[in-house]
Amino acid sequence: MTETSVAGIYFGGNGASGQSCRVSPTESGLKVHIEGSASVFLDYRLLTVYPAGVNDKYICFSGESDGKPARVLVSDTRIIDRIALIGAPFQVITALRSLQGIRTRRSIYRKTTLAGIVGVILLTVVSIWLGFDAAVAWSVRFFPVAWEEELGAAASDAILAQDDLCSDPELLQAVDEIGLRLVRGLHKSPYAFQVHVLDVPLVNAFALPGGQIFLNRGLIQRADDGFEVAGVMAHEMQHVLQRHGLTQVVRQAGFSLLLSFVLGDAGGLEQFIAANAAEFATMSYSREQEARADADGVDLMRRSSMDPSGLVRFLEKRVREAPDSAEVTALFSSHPTPASRVQALAQLSKAGRQAPVVPLKANWPRVRTRCNP
């Protein structure tokens, strides 16, 4: 028996049960050596091939021998390479390669289905045991930063499709100066922060998962100095670092999209975030999330050698100017009253060690009125 033969099961003649055999590929067909019986030959020109058995365990070669139906089941996939190497007809080799792809896809489908079942069970157990909010927190904890950045990019593309960016070089340089000082104050971060200035008159700022921060032109124009803008930026950076936006997205996306994360698929969440990108501009966080972003934002301002009262001065001014406006309502959407947040921020900015403040280089009275050259 040659080394090119593989084990198989032969069905032919009047026998309903299979017989053990060895299958040897030749240039024109398969030579089947049946244990305790004569050999038979299956011509490639008369063969059809297809998967057979539980989980497509076998390759079935079905044809004729001496004018009678015959078939051979082979589980050893090396026979495909051996048939190709021996110089079999191209049509046969193509059919076998196609069969190999079908078996692979079916195997992946079965594994994915099993993973889906396990994922459903796991997520259901976590949700029942700890509650849906705990399941959200659990998934956010293990959410890859790379995925978070992809989600933020999808939302950013959707936002920029609707609103224009300010492009004045002096303004952007001034904003970049603040951003660089804040990043240095962090010392270490998994995110590559990017700051954009939207040509939008509404006073607002918001952050996307993954580190993209948007400031509206209206906010910059109403800031008396760069430290007020810096206070807003420091606050938004904390929402990113603490994954508050991502938590809200996963919670709003619901059980089905949470399951897509468990299965290792960011596509569903990415589609959801792109379709709901506009909501980031008005997203409401819990009182606890806002309080923590305020406290850590003030601390970041100190570590960046910037005036920690920047945010509270900006908010105090907005409340005085338009206490009942939609802008102020949006700024304080998660708090019982604007006054309580301002008071808490004022206490935070005065507490702790008062580090020296290093002035900003930009001429803010001039740059704040600019947007496009």
Query: Is residue 173 located within the same domain as residue 216?
Result: yes
Query: Is residue 175 located within the same domain as residue 245?
Result: yes
Q: Is the pLDDT of residue 141 over 70?
A: yes
* Residues 297-349 pLDDT 10s: 999 999 999 999 999 999 888 878 765 555 555 555 544 456 777 888 888 88
How far is 239 from 140, CA to CA, in rounded Å? 13
Mean pLDDT of the chain: 79
Quote the distance between the C-alpha of residue 176 and its chain's center. 27
Least confident of 24-28, 149-153, 357-361: 149-153
How far is 331 from 328, CA to CA, in rounded Å? 5
Q: Work out how many domains the chain is built from and give that number.
A: 2
Query: Is residue 152 located within the same domain as residue 278?
Result: yes
The answer to whether residue 121 sits within a structural domain is no
How would residue 178 be classed by pLDDT, with cut points 50, 70 and 90? Answer: very high
Query: Is residue 199 located within the same domain as residue 240?
Result: yes
How would residue 96 be classed by pLDDT, with cut points 50, 70 and 90? Answer: confident
One DSSP character per residue, 167-218 reads --HHHHHHHHHHHHHHHHHHS--S---EEEEE---S--EEEETTTEEEEEHH
With contact defined as beta carbons under 8 Å apart, do 216 and 203 qualify? Answer: yes
Q: Is the pLDDT of residue 166 over 70?
A: yes
How would residue 159 be classed by pLDDT, with cut points 50, 70 and 90? Answer: confident
Least confident of 16-20, 29-33, 191-195, 208-212: 16-20
Query: Is residue 50 located within the same domain as residue 143?
Result: no
The answer to whether residue 122 sits within a structural domain is no
Q: Is the pLDDT of residue 267 over 70?
A: no
Q: What is residue 38's predicted lDDT score, i.e. its pLDDT?
A: 80
State which of 81, 103, 125 marks the end of a domain: 103
Query: Is residue 215 located within the same domain as residue 340?
Result: yes
The answer to whether residue 298 sits within a structural domain is yes
Least confident of 119-123, 181-185, 253-257, 352-356: 119-123
How far is 199 from 196, CA to CA, in rounded Å? 10
Domain that holds residue 305: 134-367
The answer to whether residue 110 sits within a structural domain is no
Query: Is residue 37 located within the same domain as residue 89?
Result: yes
Number of H helices, E strands in the chain: 15, 10
User: To 5 degrees, how large is the angle CA 220–CA 222–CA 223?
Assistant: 65
Amino acid at residue number 280: F
Query: Is residue 152 located within the same domain as residue 90?
Result: no
Check which CATH number belongs to the domain holding 58 and give it: 2.30.29
Q: What is residue 118's predicted lDDT score, i.e. its pLDDT?
A: 41
Q: What is residue 128's predicted lDDT score, i.e. its pLDDT?
A: 43
Tokens of 31: 């030579």
Query: Is residue 161 located within the same domain as residue 94?
Result: no
Mean pLDDT of 27-54: 85
Q: What is residue 304's predicted lDDT score, i.e. its pLDDT?
A: 94
* Residues 220-250 pLDDT 10s: 999 999 999 999 999 999 999 999 988 887 7
Query: Is residue 236 located within the same domain as residue 355?
Result: yes
The answer to whether residue 74 sits within a structural domain is yes
The answer to whether residue 297 sits within a structural domain is yes
228: region left, alpha or beta (phi > 0 left; psi from -120 to 50 alpha) = alpha
State which of 86, 103, 120 marks the end of a domain: 103
The answer to whether residue 78 sits within a structural domain is yes
Global model pTM greater than 0.85: no
The answer to whether residue 113 sits within a structural domain is no
Query: Is residue 171 located within the same domain as residue 269?
Result: yes
Q: Is the pLDDT of residue 184 over 70?
A: yes
Query: Is residue 253 located within the same domain as residue 360?
Result: yes
Q: What is residue 347's predicted lDDT score, i.e. its pLDDT?
A: 86
Mean pLDDT of 155-174: 88
Q: What is residue 261's predicted lDDT score, i.e. its pLDDT?
A: 53
